[in-house]
Structure 1
C-alpha cells in the first residue's frame, strides 16, 4: 500500500488560508489571541521561548530540503518536539498571500498569544530595564528589542505602546522579542510595578541638563524613553516612592552637537544602555 501524498494548501478560499490572511489584521489577531511569525530564525526563537505553536507552513517546493544542507534555524524548528506534526505545505502562491511583506521568508508560523504579564517577569537582583512609552511604530519597537538584546538589558516594558507582537515589530527585532523578557501595560500599571520592585527610575528628556553618562547606573534601574516625535511630554514626571509619596523622576539627556535635537528611539536606547552596561560592568 503506497503512502498518500501530503495535503497542500492551494486555494485562497480554504478556511485555514483565510484565517492566516486575516491574522495580518491587528484587530483580528488580538481577538483571536494569536501571533503570526515569518522566518525560520524568528519561528525557532518563538518555539524556544515556550510559546505554543499552532502550526507552521512551508512551500511545497521546499518540502524535501536535504537535511545535510539544512539551515540551522530550519533544523531547530523541524527537530523541536513542540513542532512535531505541526507542519503543513502550501503552494508558492498561497505562501505569498499568507507571508508578511514583499518576500516570503521560508516559513509562516501561527502561535497562541503568550500571557507575558508584569507578574510573570523574572528579573535578576540588580536589573537594568527599558521602559518604552507610547511608541506607535512597530518597526521602532522591534529595533529597540534588538538593541536591548545586544546590550544585555534584563527586560523591556511597554507603556501604552503598539502591540509588540505586530509582524513588523517581530521582523525588525530579528526575533529578540522572543528572547528579551518583556511585558506591556498602562503607564499606571508599569509605574506601580517599578515602585513595588524598588526601581530607581530615570527618564530620557531633551530638556534635561544632565548628560546620561554622568548619573550612576548601578543597582535596580529603569530608563524611560518616549517617541522621537513627541518625547515624554508631561508623562513620567513623578512616581510614587515606597512610602506612597510622589517623587520627581530625574531626567537625563543625550547631548547633541549638531542641529538635530532628537534621535530615533532605537539609537537612543542603544547609546544609553551600552553606557549603562559599561558602568555596571566597570569596563
Structure 2
C-alpha cells in the first residue's frame, strides 16, 4: 500500500487545490470528502471513490471504504489536508456527478425545494440538511452561485449533499422542467402573497426561495401558481434563506402526514 509522509508530495498539493479551488474541482471532476459518515453516505448514494487516504494513528476503528486506491498518510499530512477542527483520520477523493434535471427520478406528487442564486455554502448545506430531514424528493439549485462540492457545503450539510437528489440548472430551465412535469411552483416572496400555512402543498409542489438580500427574481414570481409569505412581527421583514426553507418544507411535510 502506498504511503505519503511528506507535505511536499504532489498528491498533497493536488488535494489542497481540490479543497480550496472550485476551478480545480471542475477541471478534475472530483472533490474531497472528509469524515467517515460523509464518506459512507457518498458511497451509499452511488458516488465512486477514486482514493481513500487514512492516518492509521487516528483512524483505527472501522474497515476502510472501498476505493480505486487506498493510501496511508502521516499525521502531519492528514492535519495539513483536514478541513475540520475535529479529526477522524480519513479523507476520500470522489468523482463528481452531473446533477442535470433530466437525471431526477421523481415519485408521484413530489416535494421539491428550489433555491435560487444562493451564494453562501453554509446556507446551501443547511438547506440540504432540512431537505433530508423532511425527505424532500429533490433540491434544485437555480442559477447557482455556490459550488456544490465546496468543503463548507459538505461540512454544513453533514453529508446530506449526498443523500438528497440535487439538480443544478438555470431558473428558466427549472421552470420549464417543473411546468412540463405539472409540478406547481410556490414562490416565497413579499408581493401579493398568501400565508404559507393556508396553501395546499399536498400535490406536486416546488417551493422556491431566494436570498434574503434580494429575494426571488421576477421569473419565479411570474411562474408561480401562488406567492407565499411567512408572516413576521419584527422590524425586519426578511430571514435567513435556510430558515425560511425549513419553515416551508416542514409545513409541506406536515400537510403530507409527516
TM-score over 0.5 for the alignment? yes
Q: Which sections of structure 1, spanning at least 5 residues, go unmatched?
A: 1-5, 240-247
Question: Which of 235, 238, 259 matches 2:222?
Answer: 238
The answer on 1:42 being equivalent to 2:38 is yes
The answer on 1:86 being equivalent to 2:69 is yes
Q: What's the CA shift string for 1:210-251, capped at 9, x where partnerless? A: 100111112111010001222114341223xxxxxxxx5421
Distance 1:7 1:157 in 2: 40
Higher-Rg structure is 1
Equivalent residue for 2:9?
14
Shift of the alpha carbon at 1:264?
1.2
Distance 2:152 2:31 in 1: 12
Q: What's the CA shift string for 1:125-153, capped at 9, x where partnerless? A: 11010000000001100100000111121
Distance 2:96 2:126 in 1: 21
Number of residues paired by the alignment?
Answer: 256
Aligned to 1:132, the other structure's residue is in SS state: strand
How high is the TM-score relative to the length of structure 1? 0.85
Question: Which of 256, 260, 276 matches 2:232?
Answer: 256
Q: Which sections of structure 2, spanning at least 5 residues, go unmatched?
A: none
The answer on 1:123 being equivalent to 2:97 is no
Displaced runs of 4 or more, over 6 A: none
Shift of the alpha carbon at 1:189?
1.3
Question: Which of 143, 166, 169 matches 1:185?
Answer: 169
Change (3 A) 1:85 1:111: closer
Distance 1:85 1:194 in 2: 38
Distance 2:97 2:165 in 1: 12
Q: CA RMSD in A?
A: 1.7
Equivalent residue for 2:156?
172
Q: What's the CA shift string for 1:50-107, capped at 9, x where partnerless? A: 11110111113135x2xxxx3xxx44xx2x5xx1563211111111222224444421
Aligned to 2:253, the other structure's residue is in SS state: helix
Question: Which of 249, 252, 255 matches 1:276?
Answer: 252
Conserved 8 A contact 1:117-1:183: yes
Distance 1:147 1:14 in 2: 39
How high is the TM-score relative to the length of structure 2? 0.93
Conserved 8 A contact 2:58-2:88: no
Q: What's the CA shift string for 1:147-174, capped at 9, x where partnerless? A: 0111121110000111212111011111
